[in-house]
Amino acid sequence: MAGLPGHDALFVKCAVNCTVSPDFGNIKIGPVVTLPDLPTPLARALEERAYATLTPVQDAVLRPDAAGRDLLVSAQTGSGKTVAFGLAMARDLLGGAERLPAQTVPAALVVAPTRELALQVAQELTWLYGHAGAVVATCVGGMNPHFERRVLAGGAHIVVGTPGRLRDHIERGALLLNEVKAVALDEADEMLDMGFREDLEFILGAAPESRRTLLFSATMPKGVAALAKKFQRDAVRVEVSGEAQGHADIEYRAVRVDPRDIEKAVVNLLRYFDPPTTIVFCNTREASRHLQAILQERGFSAVLLSGELGQHERNLSMQALRDGRAKVCVATDVAARGIDLPSVGLVIHADFPHDVEALKHRSGRTGRAGRKGVSALLIPPKMNRRAENLFHDAQVFPHWQLAPGPEEIAKLDRARIAEDPVFVESSTEEEAELSKSLLEQHGAEKCAAALAKFLAGRWPAAEELKDPGFAPPPKGERKEPRKRSDLTDTVWVRLPVGRSKRAEPKWILPMLCKKGGLRREDIGAIRIFQDETKVEIAAGRAEDFLKAMRKPGPDKVPAEPTSAPTDQELRARPKPRFGDKPEGGPREGKKKPRS
């Protein structure tokens, strides 16, 4: 494996067995069978948590070659990254002591992309460093900043926070980093995607140059590599290739569904699998809020987790899931980043994931810590080709099926009722007398019918579903994406938006499919000019497309027939802005911050 350009690094590749790159000799590391030599307080904490072995990423950061050096770690969600960087910075914080000395400024700083993940990291570090007497403080958006400043003034060994709030405390002089020995960035790729590059650079620039920088990321895009090159020195690159193992505990299901039955299919999947906890993912806040209302109306105990909620509301939702008062969490991708609920047995993608990373992030909420889980994607007919491509790129092989119907669910309900714990639990003397009285008064058949009705009434009713009308691809076969040259009989249409209104194919193409009722294979070339855009579409779909575009709706972009672009028009087109790809592909530049 080649190193990062201009970045001197030791690369460690970890799966069940780990190997170190030839730069340091041909060292082979076998499976981890015991805990390595750790500071006594941390070893005690791990034993209390029944840690018999460490995960590959945790073991890799403790290897002798990584001691005292910066770390650049790429590992999947659920691989134990929080404990990994907690162990990695242990020697920096404790030295040879068993307890941390009292101090007024922090010795370690951890930066996470979201409030939930930051609070979760703080909880993990609290128990990990509990016997060392560590004070862990949090600084996250949505919480009272005055209270956080009082906590910081009182002294904290480890500070965990989100980029914006940490920067605010640093600028106000409430958070001093002059004695920080280690800085850990968790989910660095996500923080860059959310637009926190400037904040991260400010925070790292405010820390001493002698500090260790531990950079953890699920993927290693160019932005993360550039950040590592700028702020790390002689870093050890650790790559955990546990992808195949990561999928081993997750069963993927591609559920064929009519687009008008998405909400009903979610209801039936919840009824069919009936796990202790389910997370249902939507792409937007509005969709998540609407779906939560639908599920509550159907009788499910569902909570919401999206960016529009305040911190107090988020905490209430998470607590309801942890103590079992709620069984369903409807969430957006960003809001659910890093959430760890051990009881999640089912993940439902109500809206199709944007890319492979979104699929892995969502699905990684289940199948954790050796437990089995199911990741179900709802696939309308128009998403069939896109789903095939996504599964191929992610190297997952789902089981294609229809959404379960009322008959399948009723069959499962009968089995669940027959195995209900109520039939094996011992009865009190009073309950025995009451049951005897009921049998004498109503007879065994009526009593059994009443009990069955009572037990079945605990679940919401299943929904009737339409046949989506398309078949899954043959097993082991994947169709190649259509090339634009496959369109023969085409016409051109004009849209009154161009580069002056920031027109780009990445939003024009989905809009044409959604509002105009087209499939991707019905669309050919997209030519964007200064004040207009010309789109080539299949001639047989043109009439219906123009009618659909005239209908009222949120996408108010009228379309009209036009002529094909001339050579003169094509030559006179404005050049793409810096960061754009050639037309036909999305922008590569800095992404807009997500809420």
Q: Which long-range contacts (CB under 8 A, 24 or more apart) does 443-452 make?
A: 452/417
- Cα distance between residue 46 and residue 86, in whole Å: 12
255 located within any domain: yes
Contact 213, 143 (CB under 8 A): no
Check whether residue 110 and residue 236 sit in a common domain. yes
Separation CA 46–CA 128 (nearest Å): 7
Q: Give the pLDDT of the chain (595 residues) as one tens digit per residue.
A: 444 444 444 444 443 334 333 332 332 333 333 466 788 899 899 888 877 778 888 888 888 888 889 999 987 666 788 899 999 999 899 988 889 998 889 999 999 988 888 888 999 999 999 999 999 999 998 788 999 999 999 999 999 999 999 999 999 999 999 999 999 999 888 888 778 999 999 999 999 999 999 999 877 788 888 898 899 988 888 887 554 444 567 899 999 999 889 999 999 999 999 999 999 999 888 899 999 999 999 899 999 988 778 778 888 888 899 888 999 999 988 766 667 777 899 999 999 998 887 888 888 888 876 678 999 999 998 888 889 888 988 888 899 999 999 999 988 888 888 877 777 777 788 878 888 888 888 888 888 888 787 777 678 888 888 878 765 555 554 444 444 435 668 889 998 888 888 788 778 888 888 888 888 778 888 888 888 899 988 888 888 888 888 877 666 678 888 888 887 777 766 555 444 444 333 343 444 455 4
Cβ neighbours of residue 428 under 8 Å, at least 6 residues apart? none
Strand 373-379 and strand 250-256: the pairing is: parallel
Q: Around Cβ 267, how many Cβ atoms within 10 Å? A: 22
Residues 175, 284 within the same domain: no
**What is the DSSP-derived secondary structure letter of residue 285?**
H
Domain membership flag for residue 438: no
One domain for residues 30 and 92: yes
What gap in Å lies between CA 125 and CA 207, rounded to an integer? 21
Note whether 219 and 77 are same-domain residues.
yes
Angstrom distances, CA of residue 571 to CA of 528, 537, 565:
12, 22, 10
d(CA 294, CA 290) in angstroms, rounded, equals 6
166 within a domain of the structure (yes/no)? yes
User: Cα–Cα–Cα angle for 445, 451, 453, nearest 5°?
Assistant: 100
- If asked whether residues 228 and 258 sit together in one domain, one would say no
Task: Looking at the structure, tell me whether residues 269 and 194 fall in a common domain.
Answer: no
Cα 441 to Cα 435: distance, rounded to the nearest angstrom: 10
CATH number for position 540: 3.30.70.330
CATH of the domain at 204: 3.40.50.300
**Residue 577 included in any domain:** no
Indicate the residue among 199, 226, 244 that finishes a domain. 244
Domain that holds residue 58: 9-244
Is residue 228 domain-shared with residue 255, that is, in the same domain? no
> Are 199 and 77 contained in the same domain?
yes
Indicate whether 455 belongs to any domain.
Answer: no
Q: Is residue 426 part of a domain?
A: no
Find all residues with CB under 8 Å of 546, minimum gap 6, and list them.
493, 559, 560, 561
CA 35 to chain centre: 30
What's the confidence (pLDDT) of residue 149?
94
- Cα-Cα-Cα-Cα torsion 331, 121, 395, 278, nearest 10 degrees, comes to -30
328 φ, ψ to 5°?
-125, 135
**Confidence (pLDDT) at 591:** 46
Q: What is the pTM of this model?
A: 0.56
Q: How far apart are CA 239 and CA 19, in angstroms?
A: 10
Q: Which of 514, 262, 473 minimizes the C-alpha distance to 388?
A: 473
Residue 551: count other Cβ atoms within 10 Å of its Cβ.
10
